[in-house]
């Protein structure tokens, strides 16, 4: 039986100073907030996302306007996996790119954006700093995330 081929990332993330994972609600439409957060990142940062609607697509547009200061790569979910496609996509991004930080954008409750919520839980378990950008957080979320240093 032939040896199993090793999967190699399309892009060598080690050549970038920082890697930031972006996730968010598929209904997120605040491009200005995304631009504001991405403008805080140093030149040469790699942005990775899952090509989902909403925050991911807007991030691609903002990076395209950054005049080469940032680079973005999207890894779309493989829907041959059915309902688990987005979960596998999240795991792949974490495994291949090992982000230094995560930006999560949501327009309602983060819990209502299932893929983004899954990603935030996964990166927090890995100890990756997360910044959540969205409307008012619940009191419970505010307390938990302040204690964890996620939000100020």
Whether this model's pTM surpasses 0.85:
no
The dihedral region occupied by 29, where left means phi > 0, alpha psi between -120 and 50, and beta the remainder, is alpha
43 domain-assigned: yes
Residue 8 — very low, low, confident or very high, per pLDDT cuts 50/70/90?
Answer: very low
8 domain-assigned: no
Beta bridge partners, 71, equal: 46
34 domain-assigned: yes
Residue 9 — very low, low, confident or very high, per pLDDT cuts 50/70/90?
Answer: very low
State which H helix or E strand residue 82 sits in.
none
The span from the CA of 49 to the CA of 116, in Å, is 10
Across the chain, mean pLDDT equals: 80
**Percent over 90 (pLDDT), the chain:** 33
Pick 109 or 140 by higher pLDDT.
109
Domain count, the chain: 1
Identify the CATH number of the domain in which residue 97 sits: 3.40.50.450
Residue 34 — very low, low, confident or very high, per pLDDT cuts 50/70/90?
Answer: very high
């Amino acid at each position: 039986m032939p040896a199993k081929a090793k999967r190699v990332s399309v892009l060598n993330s080690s050549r970038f100073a920082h890697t930031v994972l972006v996730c968010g609600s598929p209904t997120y439409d605040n491009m200005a907030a995304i631009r504001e957060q991405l403008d805080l990142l140093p030149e040469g940062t790699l942005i990775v996302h899952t090509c989902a609607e909403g925050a991911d697509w807007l991030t691609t547009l903002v990076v395209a306007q950054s005049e080469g200061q940032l680079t973005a790569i999207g890894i779309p979910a493989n829907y041959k996996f059915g309902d688990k496609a987005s979960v596998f996509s999240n795991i792949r991004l974490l495994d291949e790119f090992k982000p230094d930080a995560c930006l999560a954008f949501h327009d309602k409750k983060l819990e209502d954006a299932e893929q983004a919520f899954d990603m935030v839980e996964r990166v927090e378990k890995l100890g990756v700093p997360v910044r959540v950008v969205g409307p008012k957080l619940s009191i419970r979320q505010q307390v938990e995330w302040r204690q964890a240093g996620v939000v100020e």
